[in-house]
Structure 1
Amino acid sequence: MTEYVALLRGVNVGGVTVRSADLKALFAESGFADARTYLASGNVRFSADGEGRALKTDLERALAERFGYDAWIVLVTLAEMRAALDAFPFDASDEARQPYVVFCADPAVREELLASAEPSDEDPIAPGPGVVYWTPPKGSSVDTAFAKQLAKPRWKAVTTTRNLRTVAKICA
């Protein structure tokens, strides 16, 4: 069995409400072992046999049917998430900045996102293993050039962003 993390995009914001207990129940009913949810932002760690792409498709369909919304997830193994956490290149303790990890559905998405970005000292980004690291100044995570790039519809179904502290909690 492989340990996976399903990172749901767009839940508990904008009118899409998914309670953690209901989310955990869906994973258990779908036959996934050891399902645990983290925070209220759509993070589920679980164990499963099977290939990631097929699991992703099955989970998105089950989420859409159960909760009535267009479900998008980024599915990573726990090992991939730990590698992303361990490789964070910025000072995570900098109180003036917000440490983020942008998870991408696949390497091509990550490369396309990086190519479309305009990194700067004020809005730093860096490539990582299957992710893009980002550390904008606190209070500006919707105003920077990279924030505006991430908000484009192109990225809605293929990326999701988590605070580094959330990633650490999931990996613990």
Structure 2
Amino acid sequence: MAAKRYVALLRGINVNGVKILSVDLAELFRTLGFTEVKTVLASGNVRFDSETTDAAARDAATLKATIETALRERFGYDAWIVLVSLPDLEAVVEAFPFDAERDGWHPYVLFGSDDAVLAELTGLGSDLDAADDVIAPGKHVIYWHNRRDVGVDSAFSKIAAKARYRSTTTNRNLRTLRKLLA
């Protein structure tokens, strides 16, 4: 059985008092039986291979639940992740619809594990001020370009940060995603 490579995007670590060292995070993934484990930056990005031959254990939803449970048990916080296959992540990065090098702007991708939530967020962002925020829906993501001077005070940032979306979404800068692919 060939290994399938995934990226786990953890939400809410190394912020708000939830401190997890990259070495401890990688160790946890190895104890779950994953190989080629690599953490990228200290914000909850783990690339790994799943080599199991058990069809149920290879299912992305099962892997997601297994990882979230292990994170809760090991680190004692309400863990949520978005799990993305490496080929899907490559496609997301390639499809970024805005000028990622635009001076003064941040290129982001908001990942979601619930397409209905992403559709809701896209609808809520339909009347953004394009001078500060622009969004575009993608496959299991929302592409987001944010003016650097506005940052977390932007309208879309405030919408996406609401507590009701925390269990199904997480945001990454396009540069971080490229590091995950390297």
Same fold (TM over 0.5): yes
Q: Report what 1:119 is aligned to.
A: 128
Structure 2 residues not aligned, in runs of 5+: 53-57
The answer for the alignment partner of 1:73 in structure 2 is 81
Match for residue 95 of structure 1? 103
Shift of residue 116, structure 1, vs aligned partner: 2.0
Q: 1-side partners of 2:80 and 2:140: how far apart?
A: 17
1:59 matched to 2:67? The reply is: yes
Q: Which of 151, 163, 168 pairs up with 1:141?
A: 151
| Percent of aligned pairs sharing the same letter | 50
1:19 equivalent in alignment to 2:21 = yes
> C-alpha distance in 2, partners of 1:9/1:132?
16
* TM, length-normalised to structure 1: 0.96
**Partner AA of 1:31 in structure 2:** G
- Higher Rg: 2
Q: Secondary structure at the match of 1:85?
A: helix
Letter in 2 for 1:46: F
Contact 1:12 1:41 in 2 (8 A): yes
Residue 31 of structure 1 pairs with residue 33 of structure 2: yes
> Post-superposition shift, 1:145?
1.1
Q: Distance in 2 between matches of 1:125 and 1:132?
A: 7
Deviation string 1:82-136 (CA, Å, 9 cap, x unpaired) is: 1110000111111210110101113222212212223331210111121101111
When the two structures are superposed, what TM-score results if normalisation uses the length of structure 2? 0.91
Name the residue aligned to 1:42.
Answer: 44
Unmatched runs of 5 consecutive residues or more in structure 1 = none
Check whether the contact 1:80–1:129 (CA below 8 A) recurs between aligned residues: no
Asked whether the equivalents of residues 104 and 149 of structure 2 are also in contact (C-alpha less than 8 Å), the reply is no
> Greater shift after overlay, 133-142 or 160-169?
133-142
Segment drifting more, 38-47 vs 100-109 = 100-109
| Distance (Å, rounded) in 2 between the aligned partners of 1:107 and 1:57 | 17
Q: Which residue of 2 aligns with 1:106?
A: 114
State how far apart, in whole Å, the 1-side matches of 2:161 and 2:128 are: 16
CA RMSD of aligned residues (A): 1.0
1: distance between equivalents of 2:114 and 2:168?
A: 8
Q: Which residue of 2 aligns with 1:151?
A: 161
Aligned pair count reads 172
- State which drifts further: 141-150 or 34-43: 141-150
User: In 1, distance between residues paired with 2:114 and 2:84?
Assistant: 10
Q: Secondary structure at the match of 1:136?
A: strand
| Amino acid in the other structure paired with 1:63 | L
